[in-house]
Structure 1
Amino acid sequence: MRKPYLDTPIAQHVWETRYRLVVDGVVRDQNIEDTWRRVAKTLVSVEERDTPDWEERFYRILEDFRFLPGGRILAGAGSGRRVTLLNCFVMGVIDDCMESIFDRLKEGALTMQAGGGTGYDFSNLRPKNSVAHTSGRIASGPVSFMRIWDAMCATVMSTGARRGAMIASLRCDHPDIEDFIDAKRTPGELLHFNLSVQVTDAFMKAVNQDELWPLVFPVDSLEGEAESETVMRHWTGQREAVACRVIRQIPARTLWARIMLAAYETAEPGVLFVDRINALNNLAYREQITTTNPCGEIPLPPYGACDLGSVNLTRFVLEPFTSRAHLDLDAIRETVKVAVRLLDNAIDCSPFPLEAQAEQARGSRRIGLGITGLADALIMLGLHYGKAGARHKAEQIMQTVCHSAYLASIELAGEKGSFPFFDRDRYLQGKFIQTLPEAIRRGISEQGIRNSHLTAIAPSGTISLLAGNVSSGIEPVFDFRHRRRVLNQSGDYETFEVTDYAFRHRGASMNQELPASFVDARSLPPVDHLRMQAALQPFVDNAISKTINVPEDYDFEDFLSLYETAYQAGVKGCTTYRPTPLRGGILLSGKQQDKEEGALGAHCCSIEREED
């Protein structure tokens, strides 16, 4: 008798609306096993030897959701459609001229049409009310141009079970940074964008020392007096520092408080600690990174792309809910080894909307292998998410994933060759690479490495629903029973009663007292969310998508210190979510009345806004 892998109504719905292959009304995937087989058969097609063996190994890690490839792989592999298998992209540099602006808009539309989420840095656009050298025209500013992208996204992704995912970032020293910070205070504004501020080490130092902060823009792009005060800055798209005019100065703490207040009241913008991102980038010798994919787990250079996948930890807990519960780390290592090869093959199997994206992806061969179901796995092991023991176990898991992935990529390089952008000496000097065990660094030196980057932790919300509603990414369980609204193929919402995977498999009842390990997101202090993110960051060479849940009555001064703690803790970015009467919550708990999304739109990491 066939095992009922899709054992919840919402899992069946997600598969049917997002991942089941139907061509011209003909159902090609009769069941989820057909989907797994289609993916395995497609991704093994680039292998030159042992093809039947690798196809079976690919299938076995997909079976029962042990490994969850990114949604674009599940939906697109073997479909015969011109769609990307890579979830996320950062688009090309937007130069301050109409040709560049509308070229980048077109490229974004083509990428989104092919299934990719997109990230943009709007810092090169002149501040509003400034005058251009060449045309003498008055600029309207970055936020006004972002509205054009927002309208494009609404049009291109107006139907079906997915919505467009975009992120916009802006430098913390751009003269229009205040307009950017407050952009989402207007109901209905930029609904299809997530927003993040590029926060530099210099700015954080200025905040700490209560200094004035100059807002600047490159001199070559502005008219005005030559004797105006200038400073040198490493500007977006420039490898060398350029002269920038100081437009005005404001107290750094005032600007920081404005970012914090907007995040406190509207959940946006998030912050990207951009200097740390670049310092820890394995390809720092050839890239400048200023933004990320829409959910923040993949910092990327212009035209960079990444394919994602997650090890589902709930399938590796042995003897769950007992005193003998433990993780099968050997099985995780073996799954990671096969998953690295599967994701590497996806780069060769995937069409690309733009040739520049193909060149970047094939040059770096970036992958983003992470974990999902962490909170449920901890519950099954009897560990409380907010305690040190849980963080220690999570560190052990992510270290296992990271080191196993690097070893697999070294072995793969010995068979297939290193990624084309590989520069042995400079790569080995990278700050992240220097943290790896000596045996791994020696392996890279002797054999090379197939993929420039290997680990990332994505939100994985949609594919985690598909896998039986395991907790998503490294997030705590939202609630053990709640309602969740998801889109159907006609673009309308359907509401499902959803039960957490660990709660369901323990056979628990809401009326019985649960062990202390059954903790939900709202029961945890925000700092416990942050501590988990910080604990795993040392083993993630890309980044981590993590939303820190903040209670509505959380004190603003404590909120301020949370972001400062995040910076000191070494994470690459910080995103929070505090429900308000205007915004509502991300999901609908069993205690809430069913409600529509707030006028400010879906939260950045809701499944309607993921690249899944």
Structure 2
Amino acid sequence: MDTALADWTQSDHGTPPVTQPQVTLQKISTDIWDMKYRFRSPSGDAGDGTIEDSWDRVAHALSRCEGRKASHWQGRFRDQLDDFRFLPAGRILSGAGTGRNVTLFNCFVMGTIPDSLGGIFDMLKEAALTMQQGGGIGYDFSTIRPKGSRVAGVDADASGPLSFMDVWDAMCRTIMSAGSRRGAMMGVMRDHHPDILSFVEAKRDRDRLRNFNLSVLVSDALIRAVDADADWPLHFDGKVHDTLRARDLWDAIMKATYDYAEPGVIFIDRINAANNLSWLEDIAATNPCGEQPLPPYGACLLGSVNLSRFVTDPFSPSARLDTDGLKSCVATAVRMMDNVIDVSNFPLEAQRKEAVNKRRLGLGVTGLGDALVMCGLRYGSEAAVEAVETWMGTIANEAYRTSARLAAEKGAFPLFEADQYLQAPMIQALDADVRDLIAQHGIRNSHLTSIAPTGTISLLANNTSGGVEPVFGYSFVRTVRLPDGGQVDETVEDYAYRVFRTMFGPDAELPDSFVEADALTPREHVVMQAAAQKWIDSSISKTINLPRDIAFETFKNVYRQAYDLGCKGCTTYRPNDITGSVLSKPETAEQAKQRATAAAPTAIATRPVELPGQTYKVRWPHSEHAIYVTINDIIEDIDDGAGATERVRKPFEVFINSKNMDHYAWTLALTRMISAVFRRGGDVRFVAEELGAVFDPQGGAFVEGRYAPSLLAVIGGVIERHLNALDSGALPLTLLSEQARGRAGTAEIEEIAAPPPGLLCPKCHQPSLIKQEGCITCSGCGYSKCG
């Protein structure tokens, strides 16, 4: 190692100058730390007493592989964790140094799915093992033959990739990830697969593939075909199954995401062309949030530099980003993240080998929105675009510079090939001195930059704006559930807003740089993503929030702008009737009070003599007899607060009946509990969601072409279907007509409290045995036994 490099490994870059006012840590931050990242030993005699203890734990764990300099690097790591300057991803914060058998990698792209039943379920097992250790997963389902294809040797038709995605979805519901977090999954499909239209439409069903994010792998060829208004062949394994107009496919993708926010779009050819290892690997999927396009068994190692903590003299004419402090943090963060590869567990050996051979990192940013505000720059403006390009260029060059120096100290990643690597577009864009270092020493990490959504760790960092997103809201009320079941409303404020109020007081007028997400145009979102993408060798997780009333053609233009400006993917969110408003304008304290009052339990309604209802027939393959689910509704006239009334139909009670008396006890208990919930009113959709997550240890089954993990999940699906019909207005808001009532009678349907009198038939299990002419005979099924 030369002298300059030796000096670098021992030098102290220091910490950025503190020229911001100190603001107190909000309760939301300590709550997040306590719930998600605080370590408590099983015996209770050790653990993290404070957030600073958590930083000490992580710094110690990640410095152990530094040999005799471990104590030096532990101090350096600890310095950059202080005040949330560097935020390792959640798996690192919660798992490093705990001794738990968990992975410190957030997400993985799994192996290529073979087009065989045995291979598919081998992949399902690998997915379960990965999610059990806390890793999210991504899969390309394009390798499974389309629905209706002939399966040689078994004289059957293939069920197609979506049916197996249902199996993955059911598995995900039953695997609790390490800690308290359930797993996340990304499912992608290529734009030429014969089942692509079914994939695009899959989430129009409210309760299908809820544990998946979905994205279409859009090729450059499809974009060209759309521009040329050409035909688009759908093919698999060299055989064309169908042909449609390219614009029809593109419009179907756009209409689906317009209506219910999925699928997203991944520009897969651009990803592969820009890949630093394009000569070595082919990428066909991403991690669940999309910021890490990865090869089979690729791992997602994330961390974020908090830009908001590097702004000196905020809200002044001299406000700027402290680039020296930023470079110091980046250099330390790269070394810290590189060490994660050597200390982490891996669910699968293939994942460990992939990580060690390429040593991929995903260093990103958070607090960009706050940093812009504090520097007086409006998000989406030309000045903000220029600043982001400069800041991200500084980060990328320092990250690659550090990795080249690490290669001189510890060795390049095992698959490094100088001639190939130096030709990659990202490497060509780096400063000349960085390229020279790579040519001389190689590089420790094949990839170094990625921008994750950073939702929870940004909340931990005193509610800093997340990733590259703008500030969503500056002050809002959050309702927190207490351990005793009660609730308390907490005011939560954005970090930059708190700094401003600390400096200028509660009545000072906010400067123009304080722009919230809903005040931005779609193009202002896109240009910021594109500006950052120039220096990101992986990708960016960003959601472009759009108004409900945006015109469809304007909406489509957002995706085309993203493609034309060089983005690697695009995800939008428009409030819709299927997913609701996932991100909504934060409420004020008065609005929170009104909501709490409206949500308070109401008196239980008295049952009318007559109720409208629907009966649904369910077939469960493991049961000999059909099951009938009857849901009766109540019709009420509700005061709309303006002197008028609105007639609504709401679920009131449920009955479950079957000839199979094996189900009698639990169906009776279930009907009583669900009916009690229905009668209390309020939002009852959670009932269907909870039933849908129930897993039968004896195995699930395919019902009407879809996989269900249990009979209870099927019943939950029936309830969901009924609630959807109520929401859509498909069910009438009137009782039976007088004529129908005359025919049907007005007898009340009594709730079953005990088995009807009579002996149970040993064949059909119904209480319909009678003694006739000396023989015990079933009046239902005809069973007879002379006595």
Same fold (TM over 0.5): yes
How big is the shift at 1:561? Answer: 1.2
Matched AA of 2:555: F
How big is the shift at 1:492? Answer: 12
Distance in 2 between the 1:256 and 1:197 partners?
10
Matched AA of 1:308: L
Q: 1:434 to 1:573 in 2, by over 3 A?
A: same
* 2:523 corresponds to: 527
* 2:224 corresponds to: 205
Secondary structure, aligned partner of 2:192: coil
Query: Larger deviation: 532-541 or 132-141?
Result: 132-141
1:479 aligns with 2:473: yes
Which TM-score applies when normalising by structure 1?
Answer: 0.90
Distance in 2 between the 1:76 and 1:145 partners?
32
* 2:39 corresponds to: 21
- Within a 5 Å distance, the mapping from 1:247-262 to structure 2 comes to 247-262=241-256
List alignment gaps of at least 5 residues for structure 2: 1-20, 600-682, 690-787
1:183 aligns with 2:202: yes
How big is the shift at 1:597? Answer: 12
Q: 1:261 to 1:489 in 2, by over 3 A?
A: farther
CA contact (8 A) 1:379 1:518 kept: yes
List alignment gaps of at least 5 residues for structure 1: 219-243, 602-612
Q: 1:47 aligns with which of 43, 53, 66?
A: 66
Matched AA of 1:47: E
CA contact (8 A) 1:160 1:490 kept: no
CA contact (8 A) 2:133 2:177 kept: no
Matched AA of 2:225: A
How big is the shift at 1:437? Answer: 2.3
Distance in 2 between the 1:490 and 1:294 partners?
34
CA contact (8 A) 1:199 1:272 kept: yes
Secondary structure, aligned partner of 2:339: helix
How many percent identity over aligned positions?
Answer: 52
1:590 aligns with 2:584: no
Query: Larger deviation: 493-502 or 324-333?
Result: 493-502
CA contact (8 A) 1:161 1:488 kept: no
How big is the shift at 1:497? Answer: 3.6
Matched AA of 1:216: H
* 1:72 corresponds to: 91
* 1:428 corresponds to: 422
Q: 1:289 to 1:216 in 2, by over 3 A?
A: same
Deviations 1:155-181 (A, max 9, x none): 112896423211000000000001110
1:215 aligns with 2:234: yes
Q: 2:285 aligns with which of 285, 291, 303?
A: 291
Q: 2:271 aligns with which of 267, 277, 281?
A: 277
How big is the shift at 1:135? Answer: 3.1
Q: 1:309 aligns with which of 278, 299, 303?
A: 303
Distance in 2 between the 1:335 and 1:308 partners?
15
Q: 2:152 aligns with which of 133, 146, 161?
A: 133
Q: 1:114 aligns with which of 130, 133, 136?
A: 133
CA contact (8 A) 1:159 1:490 kept: no
Matched AA of 1:415: E
Distance in 2 between the 1:398 and 1:384 partners?
17
Distance in 1 between the 2:486 and 2:264 partners?
29
1:557 aligns with 2:553: yes
Q: 1:301 to 1:502 in 2, by over 3 A?
A: same
* 2:115 corresponds to: 96
CA contact (8 A) 1:158 1:491 kept: no
1:446 aligns with 2:465: no
Secondary structure, aligned partner of 1:16: helix
Distance in 1 between the 2:176 and 2:55 partners?
26
1:548 aligns with 2:544: yes
CA contact (8 A) 2:360 2:445 kept: yes
1:464 aligns with 2:458: yes
How many equivalent residue pairs? 574
Matched AA of 1:398: M
Q: 1:18 to 1:4 in 2, by over 3 A?
A: farther
1:514 aligns with 2:510: yes
Distance in 1 between the 2:203 and 2:220 partners?
26
Deviations 1:462-492 (A, max 9, x none): 1000000000000011111234578999999
Q: 1:373 aligns with which of 359, 367, 387?
A: 367
Secondary structure, aligned partner of 1:216: strand
Distance in 1 between the 2:488 and 2:180 partners?
11
1:345 aligns with 2:339: yes
Q: 1:269 to 1:464 in 2, by over 3 A?
A: same
How big is the shift at 1:535? Answer: 0.7
Distance in 1 between the 2:332 and 2:323 partners?
14
Matched AA of 2:316: T
CA contact (8 A) 2:139 2:285 kept: yes
Q: 1:574 aligns with which of 570, 573, 581?
A: 570
Deviations 1:116-162 (A, max 9, x none): 11101100111111112343321111111111111111111289642
Matched AA of 1:339: A
Distance in 1 between the 2:484 and 2:224 partners?
50
Which TM-score applies when normalising by structure 2?
Answer: 0.70
Distance in 2 between the 1:597 and 1:96 partners?
40
CA contact (8 A) 2:261 2:574 kept: yes
CA contact (8 A) 1:10 1:465 kept: yes
Deviations 1:405-434 (A, max 9, x none): 000000000000000111111111222222
Larger radius of gyration, structure 1 or 2?
2
Secondary structure, aligned partner of 1:197: strand
Q: 1:11 aligns with which of 29, 32, 40?
A: 29
* 2:79 corresponds to: 60
Secondary structure, aligned partner of 1:432: helix
